[in-house]
A and B are shown apart, each in its own frame.
Chain A
Amino acid sequence: MKTIPSLLAALAAAVLAFTACDNKDEVKTVSAVVKIDDSDVDADAKAESYTVTLTNNSTSLSYTVASENSIAVFEGLVPGVYSATVSAETVVNGFRYIIAGSVNSENVIAQSTQVNVKVTATKASALIFKEIFYNGTTIKTPEEAGDDYGETYFRDQFYEIYNNSNETVYADGLCLTDNANSFAKYDFSIIYTYPIDNPEKYLFVQTIWQIPGDGDDYPIKPGESIIVAQWATNHNDASLANGKSIDLSTAEFEAILEASTLWNGTVITDNAAINMARPVLAGYAAPQWLVSVYSADIILFKPSTPLKNEDFLVANESSTTAREIAISDVLDAVQWFEQETDFAEPSHRRLPTVLDAGCNFLKSYSGKSIVRKKAGEREDGTIIYQDTNNTSNDFTQETPVLRRNGAKIPSWNTWARN
């Protein structure tokens, strides 16, 4: 029986020996040095310190520090792939500048890995998106319809553009577009790139809708807004959304070239709203403009050079064609996804950080619009809306309402007053 204690002792020794094994595979954390290149920012507009956020792409864990002398140091990072965003706001001569930049998928696997981020500045725009209704309406739930699908409706999309400044601006020549189809393959397995110098200075789009005018035809005074509708009709009509949607017949503009009849017999009427022009069509031609209710963006810009409807760029990875627009021409931009997980992958973000550092998440056909938050009010009662170029912070979700919070109708919109 003496054997038993001996064997027990041997067993215990073996267990202890394995327990005591040194952890040679232990992770060695690393550091990253983010260097901010603000050479493209006017000297007056540069910030003394930038907010720098480093996010691990696979775990979504974020670390934020303030930069000193354009350098931010991050310690104790797990080696991996990181995204860096840099942002700041400055005020020069009464104008607010948003300075931002980002890089995606930087390998941080060695000590003191240097990550370079170039930032650019955008002057806060007078014209901003105040309310956007992109995600459609559920007319009948599956239970109400008695099937697995229900009945949904997407022709009631609209974009309310507001004059957030204290000066009159003009809507003439304003353009609306999105880059959903020209940014990536539908499943994001291929992110398209285009053969152009300094591609980081451009967005690549397929369809551009433009407000007509000679430059002073459509003034928008402070506190006024214009509505751009996909189709400026009363969508509560029994033949359309049957009381479940919104009446857009007072909209100022509609993205329609002319009346048409769709394949399913729906007659797209030409309404009182002013028809927009479509100066660029690099992709599929639809009778009216539909932006994805699931995952897309909307870009408001005023072109600094004439728009061309020829010599399109062709993606390096496919036959997808697109027109380049300069980021410096963009007045406002907003992106959305249905799932937060889609946006969590940095390579899926369609808009550069300087235009939109955040994102809206809405279930498709929820009948909700995104509504910009109030930031203040002028003495004359006009509202100032929050605009930090981060839609995660700037917007809330509400039931759609036209000209919410007392936004005024421009004087030239006579049909809205009838």
Chain B
Amino acid sequence: MKRITLFTICLILGVTSAQAQAINSQSKAETNFRNTLWFNTENSAALTFKPLEKYSDLRLGVKADEGEFRRQTEANSSKAVGVGTSGNSHIGKFNIWGEFSFNNIFEKDLANNAILFEVPEDFPYYLADTVSSRWNKQVYDMRTRISSPVLWDGFSFGLEVGYNSKVGAKQRDPRTTTYKYAVDVTPSAAWKISDAHMLGLNGYYSKSFERSEPSNVDGRYNQKVYLSRGLGMATAGTVGGNNGLGVFYFKGLDYGAGIQYNYTSGFDILAELGYKNRKMDVYEQPTLPKRRGTTKGSVIDGRIQVLFGDNNSDKVDVKAHYRTTDGYEQEQTYIQESKNQHWLTIADNKMSTYSRISLNAEYGHQFGAGNPDGYTYEAGARVAYDLEQDSYLIPSTKWNWSTVLPEAFGGLQWSKGRNILLVQASAGYGLNLSGDYIYYAVPGSVTDKTAEIYSKDMAFRQSNFFKSSVRASYTLRSKKVNYVFDLKATGWAADETNRIIADFTFGILF
């Protein structure tokens, strides 16, 4: 792991450090990504024709997250320190972009998740306990995108590879140590049909693995947990003792493909449509495997980016996301053959369904987009709409909510000599349009307790809220490098709960 990390850092810093720097401010660094439309797709091949501007950065950051306005499986408080680096350059005729980051995260007051590094919203098969605990976590994240030289007078090929490693340790009985790895590979091809038209294709393959081992430090007390089955349905389980729960394995396999089309004629429009098929299997106890559920699903993503105006001063970005997930529960019977005891699956029942539609639209205008130090003002608006509709078969349970969040944002940048100050702010209001949790639970039963968790989650989803953010970013330029001090705070305020995330980053752009 350390060798891979060091190699990646050296690669990123090595290939980019000798470059002449056009990116000399934080706003320009961000505009670089904004305006490189193909970078915001899953197609790396097209970066041969429309690459990012060369840059390198190195960042050190601290982050604090506090407040209860969140899902019940998330920590109410966390602090993180991290380091990261990224850069874009050429090696020979190949265009290469790379990124590495490491974060050390300390979470507090995390309940309702006793086993997973993180609980996706559409994943029902995990262990929950109701006692808050601390979690210590580490995340290593690496990603690189490579695009080939132009071949056959208009073609290029690309490859994106990502690898992340996550380690988590729950700090209170029942304790869990979890190790999670994921690798994804996205090969792509691009065809520049003419100066105006370009077409791209990509594939996608991802494999993940998480091994989670629950245990107790205090062996005198076995710990009660809930084996979640979805939307409040759960059965009781125990960590510890002769018959306690064993090691859990979560094995994920995703694959998919995407298509992109780019038209350029005074303006730049890029449309992308992608599809992914997803599967996650859960097993317990490798020596006597017992299946604990499977999710299967698909994701469709669509995005249209339009860049227009003088010096690409205007951008429209529309995204649509559709996700559907089915949860399958395996009915198993224990076969007690001599020396060959095993669990036999006799039925694989689709019990849960989750579906989500998310729509996002954003328009932004930069005044003075052609300035050498970056824009002078920016202003824009965006709106996000989310609709979730889930169900559980028996006992019949329904869960659905929808929310719309319109936001306005703006920014100012002052530049004087070596100093650049960027101030940004945004404000929005989240309006819940619908929300229902209809469930069956026997009073005093396990489902009664777990349904309470979902009831709180529904209260969170049904809340109307204000969202706002402020940011101040100062860049001090010198001959070889630019120093960036970046402070940002984002807050959510609902009737009874709130949340704030504050982060400070010190970075070097070179």
Contacts and interface: CB of A to CB of B under 8 A. Distances in A.
B263 A81 contact: no
B324 A18 contact: yes
A239 interface: no
A410 interface: no
Interface string B348-360: 0111010101000
B6 interface: no
B326 interface: yes
A190 B333 CA distance: 14
Interface in A339-393: 339-342, 344-345, 347-348
A15 B298 CA distance: 11
Contact of B222 (A19, A26, A339): A339
A118 B318 CA distance: 66
Contacts of A29: 394
B304 interface: yes
Contacts of B349: 27, 78-80
B378 interface: no
Given A15-B300, A25-B350, A27-B351, A58 B329 contact: yes
Interface in B235-269: 235-238, 241-243, 261, 263, 267, 269
B336 interface: yes
A344 B235 contact: yes
Contacts of B333: 81, 105, 107
A61 B351 contact: no
Contact of A4 (B218, B304, B446): B304
B370 interface: no
B271 A338 contact: no
A329 interface: no
A345 B267 CA distance: 66
Contact of B393 (A78, A107, A345): A78
Contact of A190 (B218, B298, B331, B336): B336
A173 B300 CA distance: 76
Given A14-B300, A15-B320, A317-B338, A79 B235 contact: no
A60 interface: yes
Interface in A141-166: 142, 148-150
Interface in A1-21: 1, 3-4, 7-8, 10-12, 14-15, 18-19
A280 B335 CA distance: 32
A316 B336 CA distance: 11
Contact of B241 (A61, A339, A340): A339
A189 B331 contact: no
Q: How large is the interface on A (under 10, 10 to 19, 20 to 34, 35 or more residues)?
A: 35 or more
B238 A342 contact: yes
A415 interface: no
Interface string B224-237: 10000100010111
Nearest to A30: B347
Given A59-B229, A188-B243, A78 B394 contact: yes
B316 to A, nearest CB: 8
Contact of A8 (B238, B288, B304, B334): B304
Interface string B303-323: 010100000000000101010
Contacts of A341: 224, 236-238, 243
Contacts of B351: 27, 78
A190 B288 CA distance: 12
Contacts of A340: 236
Nearest to A79: B347
Do most interface residues of chain B lie in helix, strand or loop, or is the interface mixed? strand
Most buried by B among A10, A15, A190: A15
Contacts of B229: 59
B302 interface: yes
Nearest to A344: B236
A81 B304 contact: no
A350 to B, nearest CB: 13
Contacts of B2: none
B271 A3 contact: yes
A200 interface: no
Contacts of B341: 189-190
A187 interface: yes
Contacts of B393: 27, 78
Q: Which 9 interchain pairs have the tightest Cβ spacing?
A: A80-B331, A11-B302, A79-B347, A7-B271, A187-B242, A15-B322, A341-B236, A27-B349, A25-B350
Interface of A: 1, 3-4, 7-8, 10-12, 14-15, 18-19, 23, 25-27, 29, 58-61, 76, 78-81, 105, 107, 109, 142, 148-150, 186-191, 294, 316-317, 338-342, 344-345, 347-348
Interface of B: 218, 220, 222, 224, 229, 233, 235-238, 241-243, 261, 263, 267, 269, 271, 273, 288, 298, 300, 302, 304, 306, 318, 320, 322, 324, 326, 329, 331-334, 336, 338, 341, 346-347, 349-351, 353, 355, 357, 393-395, 446
21 contacts: A1-B269, A3-B269, A4-B271, A7-B304, A10-B273, A12-B320, A15-B320, A19-B324, A19-B355, A27-B393, A60-B235, A76-B394, A78-B351, A79-B349, A81-B331, A105-B334, A149-B220, A317-B338, A342-B238, A345-B243, A348-B243
Given A1-B269, A338-B222, 16 more contacts: A4-B306, A14-B273, A58-B331, A59-B233, A60-B446, A76-B394, A78-B351, A78-B394, A109-B346, A149-B220, A187-B243, A188-B242, A188-B243, A339-B238, A342-B241, A348-B243
